[in-house]
Structure formats: structure tokens, C-alpha cells
Amino acid sequence: MNLKSSPSVVALLGDVVNSRAASDRVRLHRGLVAGLVRSSDGASPLRVTVGDEFQGTYGTLGAALDAAFRIRIDLLPDIDVRIGLGRGPVVDLDVEEGLQDGPGWWAAREAIEDVERSSRGTALRQLRTGYRWAAPSAPPSSTAPATGERSAEEDAVNAALACRDQLVGSLSDRGLRVLAGLLGGASQADLAKREGVSASAVSQQVRSQGIGAILHAHEMLRRLP
């Protein structure tokens, strides 16, 4: 059997946090699928694989980070997800079934396992997103790491993700709605009408809860090659 190897991509692997504790797993699954449909673009759809896991592949790290952020914000506060991103080559095992393997997926699995372990501690309990880079032959933006070592790119991206996730995890339910609205292109005036508050109240919330900083960080992250 001939296996087709794809160039280096960014694999996204996600799962639902504490899904086994859900009282209605059918409802949970339906909510997850609906969120994936809303958050996916036509070119890189996210899909559920087994149980509460979902995955997708992207041409750039920025596109993968954008997708990871949008799906998480879309699902909160009802469903929380953790996501691992892995940069590296992938191999198509079965094109019709969409089955893939390879360093990109192994790195994504390592990343999501890192997130799960790290979030058990107090300092990083809000961490939900992580990134690993399978040492490539042609690094897109910086020097490739030696096997088993972390690259400067990994460290920088994971530092930004840790800070961003901490801010997101600290938002009130209204703060999450405001963040989701602004991410979707709504104006602060529109959101004030939806929430039944003044525009100045929304503006104050954007500043005081760090929503503006979250969006600013996301805008920079989504530009990464």
C-alpha cells in the first residue's frame, strides 16, 4: 500500500474537559458537533473522531490557533475543551476515511497531554491550549529544535497561550458573551443592546476583564506562519 506523505502542517487535536462527568453525554456530543460546525471554515473543517475527541489540519500555525480559540469561545461556558496543536508532516493512511498519522499528529497528542498534566496544578489550572513542534527539516520561521528539545517558537507561543487562557478562564459569563460577540465582529454598542446594559458598561468590562488584551493577543497569534 502506498502512503501519501503531506508537507508540514499544523494538526489540531481537541477533547472535552471532564466529559465523563456529564449527566447527558448525547446532549454533550450534539453541542460539541454544533459548535464545530459553527466554528469551522469550509477549507479546514473540524470533525469529531471518537467519543469527545475532534481534529483538523491547517496550513499555518496562525490558522490553527485561530480555529482552536474560536471553537473554545463558541462552546464556553457550557462545554470546555482542551486543545493540542502539533506542527509536522502527516501521512494519509486512508484518504476516503480521512485517516492520518505522522509527526504532526504525534506532536499534537504530546501537546494535549502536556496541557492535561499542567492544568492539574494550581498555577496553570486554566490552561487549555498547548503547542508542540516535531523537529522539521525546513523550519518555517526559526531554528529547528534538536530531537527532544523545545524550540524558541514553542516556548514563545506556549507562554502567550498560558497567559491568554488564564484571562479567558477568569471571565464571567457575561464577559465570555462579550468576548464571543467581539470575536464574531459585533460592535460594543450591539453587545450592549443584547445584554441590556449601557455601551459604557460593556467598554468598562472589555478593559477591566482583559477582553481587549485577549483579542489583541489573538490577533497577533493568528498571523503566525
d(CA 136, CA 212): 34
pLDDT at residue 17 above 80? yes
Identify whether 162 is part of a domain: no
Residue type at 100?
Q
Identify whether 98 is part of a domain: yes
Give me the domain span that covers residue 100: 4-149
Q: Is pTM, for the whole model, over 0.85?
A: yes
Which has the closest alpha carbon to 71: 125, 15, 131?
A: 15
Q: Chain-wide mean pLDDT for the chain?
A: 88
| pLDDT the model gives residue 130 | 98
Yes or no: say if 91 and 101 are a contact pair by the CB < 8 Å rule.
Answer: yes
Identify whether 172 is part of a domain: no
Q: What is the CATH number of the domain that holds 70?
A: 3.30.70.1230
Q: Residue 158: left if φ>0, alpha if ψ -120 to 50, beta else—which one? A: alpha
Identify whether 76 is part of a domain: yes
Taking only the tens place, the pLDDT of each residue in 70-113 is 999 999 999 999 999 999 998 877 666 667 779 999 999 999 99
Count of domains for the chain: 1
